[in-house]
Structure 1
Amino acid sequence: MAKTPNAKTEHKAKPVAAEKSFSLVSNEKLLAIYTAMVKCRMLEQRATLLFQQGKLDSDLHASAGREAASAGIAIDLQPNDTLGILPGEWLPAFVKGVTLDNLFRTLAPTAAERSGQQALAAGDLGLKNILTGDEAQVPETVRERAVEAQAAQEGAIVVAILPSTAKSLKPWQTVMTAAAAQKLPIVFAHYVGIESEGSNSAPKDKSKNPEALVNGLPAIVVDADDAVAVYRVAYEAIIRARQGRGATLLRCVGRSAVSTAAKPESGGKSGIHAISNDPVSSMEIYLESKGIEPKGHNREVVTSFNRDLELATRFLDQ
């Protein structure tokens, strides 16, 4: 069984060349991951508040508590990389570069249509190479994009966020098997709750080597609430795909029960909330252990991003 990487044991890794090791994460990158997590948390809170006020047709509940996995997996993706997401799973798309304005217009299609901006929001997704929509179509589109990327030999990859239910996973089984056979440049990320690990919703190992392979792919189990651990394994999987060495399955097992709804007294503007076993709070503790002080940085991020959120949602009051 693959071991679960953990940020707390990072110092035990064997020393190797920095450019080849995913265990060596620079302070700059750590702060970038933390910044993305804080913004994701604030985005969730603002979307929840606006949904409760009836200003959005949907919120980001599908992404609740997944700031670590979203930041760790998507932060190193390039513009020509493709990201396939599930309906409502917008945090990885935001980390990849989808604008706040167009993200909120996507969450409020009626308002967006009245303002004539729905097509612009859809166009932004296309420009950022974000695939979403029909669960039956996305798997095949992911495979096609990967085949195109492989043929182009320009280092582009595809990252696909897998659904949790067994029924929705069925079309992905075929894609994973094809990715293994053809060494397609795909990173599959399957997020499951700790209670689901080993359940019928998880991709099944059909190989003769259950310790290493799932549907013919090397599988890595990682704590989905540990941003550094997710980043380390995602980095390795992305490099593997870019170098033409094939696809990887990341089994992201969530352990925390996090409520990210905005507190009534905060107006959704207070930034992140300290919650026991919360991914964002855990990342702050980790940064402090590395000699990085996150609180001052946090204040700057919260102040700046609140302004961005206000600007991006002004159209909802028109």
Structure 2
Amino acid sequence: MVKKTVESIVDPEILNFSPQVIVELYEDMVLGRSFEDMCAQMYYKGKMFGFVHLYSGQEAVSSGIIKALKETDYVCSTYRDHVHALSKGVSAREVMAELFGKETGCSKGRGGSMHIFSQPHNFLGGFAFIGEGIPIATGAGFQSVYRKQVLEENTECAVSVCFFGDGTTNNGQFFECLNMAVLWKLPMIFVVENNQWAIGMAHHRSSSSPEIYKKAKAFGLPGIEVDGMDVLAVRSVATEAINRARRGEGPTLIEALTYRFRGHSLADPDELRSTQEKEAWIARDPIKTLHSYIINNNISSEEDLNKIKEKVKDIVEDSVEFAIKSPEPNVNELHKYLFVDK
């Protein structure tokens, strides 16, 4: 079975990445990190409630894969879903308002942090329990094939991408859906965001086969391991997997080796991971790595990158102001949106 690694950081000329694409990836990662940092501030100020799981450190996976998709493609997330939604095009205003539980949120304030959803963006939602989103994404892949083969719609085959963590790969839904996707050659990409920890359980202690991409061999699909801290490496394998899916050649399993810079959730004191381990991964910060690469290769100037940071800062601050001013859901409409209006 294929094991594919890409050296960090990849030469964009080899991969035909334009400067525009590279800067877009940088901006998307900065937006994700800045948004999550603001979420932490708002959570500790009591503006958000319940569990809030941040994505800080894993931005290269979201940006590298989702930004290679088209608007018509589908994305299914986990409870660590804010940044996935932003990468798919859901506005920072809608995501922040949802986190505040406001009517203007993308799930009308009914979902909160773990249930970000946006039908206009084909963002199929975050899911509070691990593995829940995999069958949903598989269903999206199936309907894409059904539309072309049975309904004979003359449209390009939409790709369905499913994100989940390393801990999920020991659950039944993972194996069942891999088998189904290969059997029916569904246009899917299964993305394992291996951040080394399943809440408080180290990955190497919980799986008899720690190299997750090798599990693809049992079902006959490509298994690819990639440096999840290198956005260009992720973009490279994502592009190949997306093209393969559109050609009708079936799914791909991508294992992105990454790391979350904060605890499992904002309620987690993060005492289980060693300081040495955290520092080693933080030294490989994907945003700083790409920033250095952009400057060293004259892809953009420091001034322009600072303008991006200022632009993102304004977007994030605006999202908070929007969320604060937005109305609360009407208690008399508690059951609204539970069913489709005919």
Q: Which moved more, 1:243-252 or 1:130-139?
A: 130-139
Q: Per-residue deviation at 1:146?
A: 0.6
Deviation at 1:138, TM superposition (A): 2.6
- What SS is found at the alignment partner of 1:64? coil
Q: Aligned pair in 2 of structure 1 residues 237, 99: CA closer, same or farther (>3 Å)?
A: same
Q: Mind listing any 5+ residue stretches in structure 2 that lack a counterpart?
A: 149-155, 264-281, 326-342
1:88 maps to a residue whose letter is R
Q: State whether residues 55 and 83 of structure 2, in contact with CA within 8 Å, keep that contact through their aligned partners in structure 1.
A: yes
State the AA in 2 paired with 1:68.
Answer: A
Structure 1 residue 282 and structure 2 residue 289: aligned?
yes
For the residues of structure 2 that align with 1:52 and 1:276, how far apart are their CA atoms?
26
8 Å Cα contact 2:92-2:316 kept in structure 1: yes
Instruction: State the distance in 2 between where 1:54 and 1:127 align.
Output: 30
Q: 2:124 aligns with which of 125, 131, 146?
A: 131
TM-score by length of 2: 0.74
Matches within 5 A, 1:1-318: 2-8=3-9, 10=11, 23-57=15-49, 61-109=53-101, 111-112=102-103, 117-118=108-109, 125-132=118-125, 133=127, 135=129, 137-153=132-148, 154-166=156-168, 169-194=171-196, 200-201=206-207, 213=217, 215-254=219-258, 258=261, 276-318=283-325
- The answer as to whether partners of 1:69 and 1:227 remain within 8 angstroms in 2 is yes
- Unaligned runs of 5+ residues in structure 1 are 14-22, 261-274
Aligned residue for 2:270?
Answer: none
Mean Cα deviation higher: 278-287 or 129-138:
129-138
Provide the rounded CA distance (Å) in 2 between the counterparts of 1:224 and 1:60. Answer: 22
Q: What value does the CA root-mean-square deviation take over the aligned residues? A: 3.4
Q: Secondary structure at the match of 1:238?
A: helix
Question: Alpha-carbon deviations, 1:281-318, whole Å to 9, x = none?
Answer: 01112222322235222221222222222222124444
Tell me the residue number matched to 1:265.
none
Q: Cα 1:166–1:102, aligned 2, differ >3 Å: closer, same or farther? A: closer
Q: State the 1:57 CA deviation.
A: 2.0
1:144 and 1:189 mapped to 2: Cα distance? Answer: 16
**Which residue number in structure 2 is paired with residue 272 of structure 1?**
none
Range that drifts further, 212-221 or 194-203: 194-203
Partner secondary structure for residue 60 of structure 2 = helix
* SS of match in other structure, 1:184: coil
What letter corresponds to residue 295 of structure 1 in structure 2?
A: E
TM-superposed CA distance for 1:134, in Å, is 5.4
Letter in 2 for 1:118: G
Normalised to the residue count of structure 1, the TM-score between the two structures is 0.79
User: Alpha-carbon deviation of 1:11?
Assistant: 7.6
